[in-house]
């Protein structure tokens, strides 16, 4: 024993202990400095970027909130852990004789104390750091907690405004979980720390607690029980988003079994906490242990046994009667959460009396029927208009323009630069200084076809050539859907503008996009940020240069407003002055809306509250509020003043191109297929469930919504509509169709047109089945397939005209050798009649008996020569080409050329017939 005390008092041990403590402090400081240095450079670059785009206040608000959260929760964790460990350290020393009874065989307290203190300090620091890192991710829930906006709607169970569940409850749950985690860790660390301090010993009589350790642990347990009582109380509100019942939200069992059980558990947890506190002055733990046993038993019975028995023997035999009030609430809140309560329902007779006069009356609708599908059209654009290997078309978007006084639906695709396809891939100067932007767009009508079966283009080539009064004055695309991590402009290196024949045209950036390089210090920071030393030593990058980062539109807007969700596909708009702008739809969402049925990866509340506009040249961003009645966007507007603008502030030339977003519309259609049923009995029995028709050949893929220009029933003018049909579940006939209006002043209004239940109206899949059964169509398709060509089916579009439905489907043909899709046939189905012809006007003529005189009905639009000699030369050329293809064995190409020859001979006959 004397040796132990002599060893404990040696001065060199104290010195070494102090040295080790100093090394720990130095190591922690070095780690902190490394973390701060690695994070500060990207943070500084982000700060100057936010300043450049004009949203530094947004970043400042987020950073201050994250910093305060880290300080508060990290400090709270450190304070609680340190206080408890300090109390352990200050615990009175036990008698030496008692230490000798320890069966663990540990050295004396004075020896272990130094090692314990050295170990607990980094553990406390590490746990506090983890708490701080976890807390900073909760910045959004904290800001929403501080700036709630009332919904002016109360839940039927607790009579709380819905803002409590969406804005306040998430943060309260996080606060509870954080405090519970810290207290549990404190209790475990304290219990472990008391072992070397001899506050807890394992002896022959069992566990022995010192009075100090006993009081300390009982205080912690009491605090845990009081906190658990608050947790039970918070859990009662979670019943409103319970998935356990027949519908989402509180069910009969939740209301009459789980809710009372949680209230009982709340009271029992408080009683147990009081009992734990009273045991501080009394030795007997029996009352506290009995209370704890009662709490555990009540938890098992109240949360598992009783709800299960009630559900099985009371609810299941009478489910409809007992669950009806909760089904009604689920229907009401789900319809409100997805905006389905705003839908107007109108009967659609689906008559079969459509005439030529009706087609003439709806000439603008018929002439805007979309014959080009984005998928094959994207391949065609790539073959015809990419010009160079490093230009790529990412997507084809549908929009509308007023051209020559006519409202016309068009398909547009920007020509973007892909650094992955540069011929000199890996050359740093080319990727970051020379090839910096895409160039121009391709734009054409949705329904016009050349004699070769290819799309007619209004805007094409490099530089852009336009055949309509729509000019592009600023064709450079520095910000788009493609783009590498960064580029430098205004450098000493030549910046490619566009290729011109065998030479290239170079340019100098004249815009305001990007961040100025400025000093050598900034240049060094950019080199560190992008981890590329070539930036630092490049002589081409001068102080006047600008670096463009976050160039992809989706990434760019998410950087500014990460709290919004975004449509995956932005679309490009050509303004009246010829500049290019991206428009992107943004959503506010929540997964805490009471009773509302959730959607996977979205939540159970969604609004299309924001339209974002991004300048393709300057990179500037504007956020416009499209749904000012949404409480979530009102809250974000209070959190970030100056970020959002009213929709009225959007320039009219851009406002004319906003459209109802496809993703939001598809979600609403999916929900409305079930939640159009308002009767709880019909809803429970799923008597009238609808579904979105499946795409051809893809059983699990629903048909996509599609845009059309059409005149809605009872309306006087055509407008831009997003449309989708419905069929009954497990049936193929049409039951309804939903339309979303995109043109002002009716933007955002939804209308559902329901079919008569006593009448059979063919649905898309039934029309496709009839097409497959048509002998002529099947024979023609089989013939094409046997000749080595691939038949590509376009979307089957249901076009409402007056009070009837007209089906149109384009067919494309692609030779396997060249894979260039060409529009070869158009199928029209109306009632019991089906026709497949080379053009839409001929197919309509076959169905209705005579071709309607339409302005641009989708017919080929070749240039008709005035000279018969020119026609004859063309026919001879086509004949020789067809013979050459026949000799090569290219039967698909031979048949195409024969069709072109037939068209030329028809024109020749018309020209000859016009001679005197």
Q: What are 614-625's pLDDT values in tens digits? A: 999 999 999 999
pLDDT in tens, 210-234: 788 888 999 999 999 999 999 999 9
Where do we find the tokens 């472990």? 192
First to last CA, the chain: 134
* Nearest alpha carbon to residue 758 among 442, 350, 417, 286: 350
Q: Is the pLDDT of residue 352 over 60?
A: yes
pLDDT in tens, 307-334: 999 999 999 999 999 999 999 999 999 9
Q: Is the pLDDT of residue 117 over 70?
A: no
- The H or E element that residue 321 is part of is helix 319-337
Residue 883 has a pLDDT of: 74
Question: Is pLDDT larger for residue 696 or for residue 416?
Answer: 416
Q: Is the pLDDT of residue 206 over 70?
A: no
597-601, 721-725, 893-897: which has the minimum mean pLDDT? 893-897
For 42-69, b/e burial (b = at least 16 CB within 10 A) is eeebbeebbebbebeebbebbbebbeeb
pLDDT in tens, 526-539: 999 999 999 999 99
Residue 700 has a pLDDT of: 67
Residue 593 near residue 631 (C-beta atoms within 8 A): no
Mean pLDDT, the chain, whole residue set: 87
Residue 911 has a pLDDT of: 61
**Tally: H helices and E strands in the chain:** 30, 35
3-state per-residue secondary structure call for 787-853: CCEEEEECCCEEEEECCEEEEEEEEEEEECCCCCCEEEEEEEEECCEEEEECCHHHHHHHHHCCCCC
Give me 101's structure tokens: 């009874």
Stretch 738-760: mean pLDDT: 94
pLDDT in tens, 125-177: 889 989 999 999 999 999 999 999 999 999 999 999 999 999 999 999 999 99
Distance (Å, rounded) from C-alpha 285 to C-alpha 293? Answer: 12
pLDDT band at 910 (very low <50, low <70, confident <90, very high): low
Question: Is pLDDT larger for residue 863 or for residue 370?
Answer: 370
Distance (Å, rounded) from C-alpha 683 to C-alpha 689? Answer: 8
Distance (Å, rounded) from C-alpha 455 to C-alpha 441? Answer: 14
Q: Is the pLDDT of residue 72 over 90?
A: yes
3-state SS assignment for residue 345:
strand
Q: Read off φ and ψ for residue 90, nearest 5 degrees.
A: -85, 5
In terms of Cβ atoms closer than 10 Å to its own Cβ (0-12, 13-18, 19+), residue 720 is buried
Q: Quick check: bond before 215 cis, omega within 30?
A: no
pLDDT in tens, 37-65: 677 889 999 999 999 999 999 999 999 99
Kindly state the DSSP code that residue 419 receives in the 8-state scheme. Answer: G
The DSSP line for 461-487 is TTTTEESSS---S--EESSBS---SEE
Beta strand spans in 501-590 (E): 503-507, 515-516, 546-549, 565-566, 571-574, 580-590
């Amino acid at each position: 024993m004397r040796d132990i005390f002599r060893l404990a008092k040696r001065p060199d041990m104290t010195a070494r202990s102090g040295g080790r403590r100093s090394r720990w402090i130095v190591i922690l400081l070095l780690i902190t400095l490394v973390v701060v240095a690695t994070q500060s450079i990207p943070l500084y670059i982000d700060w100057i970027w936010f300043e450049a785009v004009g949203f530094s206040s947004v970043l400042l608000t987020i950073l201050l909130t994250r910093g305060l959260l880290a300080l508060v929760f990290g400090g709270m964790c450190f304070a609680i852990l340190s206080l408890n460990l300090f109390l352990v350290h200050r615990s009175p020393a036990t008698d030496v004789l008692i230490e000798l009874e320890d069966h663990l065989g540990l050295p004396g307290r004075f020896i272990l104390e130094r090692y314990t203190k050295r170990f607990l300090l980094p553990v406390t620091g590490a746990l506090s750091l983890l708490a701080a890192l976890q807390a900073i991710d909760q910045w959004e829930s904290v800001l929403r907690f501080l700036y709630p906006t009332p919904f002016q709607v109360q839940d039927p169970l607790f009579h709380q405004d819905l803002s409590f569940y969406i804005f306040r409850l998430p943060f309260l749950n996080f606060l509870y979980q954080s405090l519970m985690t810290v207290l549990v860790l404190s209790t475990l660390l304290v219990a472990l720390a008391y072992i070397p301090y001899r506050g807890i010993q394992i002896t022959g009589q069992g566990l022995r607690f010192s009075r100090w350790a006993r009081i300390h642990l009982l205080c912690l347990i009491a605090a845990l029980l009081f906190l658990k009582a608050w947790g039970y109380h918070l859990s009662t509100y979670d019943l409103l988003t319970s998935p356990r019942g027949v519908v989402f939200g509180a069910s009969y069992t939740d209301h009459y079994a789980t809710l009372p059980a949680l209230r009982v558990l709340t009271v029992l947890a408080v009683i147990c906490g009081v009992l734990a506190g009273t045991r501080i002055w009394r030795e007997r733990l029996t009352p506290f242990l009995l209370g704890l046993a009662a709490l555990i038993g009540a938890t098992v019975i109240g949360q598992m046994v009783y709800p299960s028995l009630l559900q099985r023997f009371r609810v299941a035999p009478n489910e409809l009667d007992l669950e009806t009030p909760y089904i009604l609430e689920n229907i009401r809140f789900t319809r409100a959460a997805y905006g389905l309560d705003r839908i107007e329902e109108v009967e659609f007779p689906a008559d079969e009396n459509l005439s030529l006069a009706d087609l003439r009356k709806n000439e603008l609708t018929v002439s805007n029927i979309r014959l080009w599908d984005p998928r094959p059209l994207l391949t065609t654009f790539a073959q015809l208009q990419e010009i160079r290997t490093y230009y790529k078309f990412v997507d084809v978007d549908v929009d509308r323009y007023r051209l020559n006084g006519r409202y016309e639906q068009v398909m547009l695709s920007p020509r973007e630069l892909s650094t992955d396809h540069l011929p000199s891939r890996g050359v740093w100067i080319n990727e970051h200084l020379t090839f910096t932007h895409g160039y121009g767009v391709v734009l054409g009508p949705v329904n016009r076809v050349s004699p070769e079966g290819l799309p007619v283009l209004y805007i094409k080539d490099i530089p852009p050539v336009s055949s309509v009064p729509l000019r592009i004055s600023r064709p450079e695309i520095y910000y788009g859907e493609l783009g590498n991590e960064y580029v430098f402009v205004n450098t000493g290196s030549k910046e490619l503008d566009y290729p011109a024949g065998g030479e290239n045209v170079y340019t100098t950036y004249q815009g305001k996009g990007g961040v100025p390089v400025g000093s050598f210090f900034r240049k060094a920071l950019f080199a560190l940020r992008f981890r590329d030393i070539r930036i630092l030593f490049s002589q081409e990058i001068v102080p006047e240069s600008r670096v463009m980062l976050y160039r992809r539109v989706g990434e760019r807007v998410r950087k500014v407003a990460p709290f919004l969700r975004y449509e995956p596909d932005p679309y490009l708009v050509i303004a009246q002055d010829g500049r290019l702008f991206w428009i992107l739809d943004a959503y506010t969402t929540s997964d805490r809306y009471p009773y509302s049925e959730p959607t996977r990866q979205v939540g159970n509340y969604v609004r299309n509250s924001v339209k974002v506009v991004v300048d393709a040249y300057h990179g500037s961003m504007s956020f416009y509020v499209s749904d000012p009645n949404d409480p979530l966007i009102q809250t974000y507007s209070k959190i970030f003043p100056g970020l959002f603008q009213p929709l009225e502030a959007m320039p009219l030339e851009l406002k004319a191109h906003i459209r109802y977003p496809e993703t939001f519309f598809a979600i609403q259609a999916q929900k409305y297929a079930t939640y159009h049923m308002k009767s709880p009995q019909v809803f429970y029995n799923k008597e009238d469930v609808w579904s979105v028709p499946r795409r051809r050949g893809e059983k699990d893929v629903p048909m996509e919504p599609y845009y059309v220009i059409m005149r809605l029933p009872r309306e006087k003018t055509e407008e831009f509509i997003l449309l989708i049909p419905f069929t009954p579940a497990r049936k193929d006939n049409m039951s309804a169709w939903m339309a979303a209006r995109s043109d002002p002043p009716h933007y955002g209004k939804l209308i559902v047109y329901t079919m008569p239940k006593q009448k059979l109206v063919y649905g898309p899949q039934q029309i496709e089945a009839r097409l497959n059964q048509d002998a002529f169509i099947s024979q023609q398709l089989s013939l094409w397939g046997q000749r080595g060509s691939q038949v590509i089916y376009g979307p089957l579009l249901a076009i409402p005209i007056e009070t009837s439905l007209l089906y149109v489907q384009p067919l494309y043909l692609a030779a396997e050798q060249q894979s260039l899709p060409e529009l070869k046939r158009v199928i029209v189905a109306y009632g019991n009649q089906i026709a497949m012809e080379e053009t839409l006007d001929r197919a309509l003529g076959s169905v209705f008996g005579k071709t309607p005189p339409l302005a641009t009905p989708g017919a080929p639009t070749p240039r008709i020569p005035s000279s018969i000699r020119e026609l004859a030369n063309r026919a001879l050329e086509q004949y020789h080409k067809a013979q050459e293809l026949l000799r090569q064995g290219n039967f698909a190409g031979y048949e195409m050329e024969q069709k072109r020859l037939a068209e030329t001979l028809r024109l020749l006959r018309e020209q000859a017939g016009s001679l005197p």
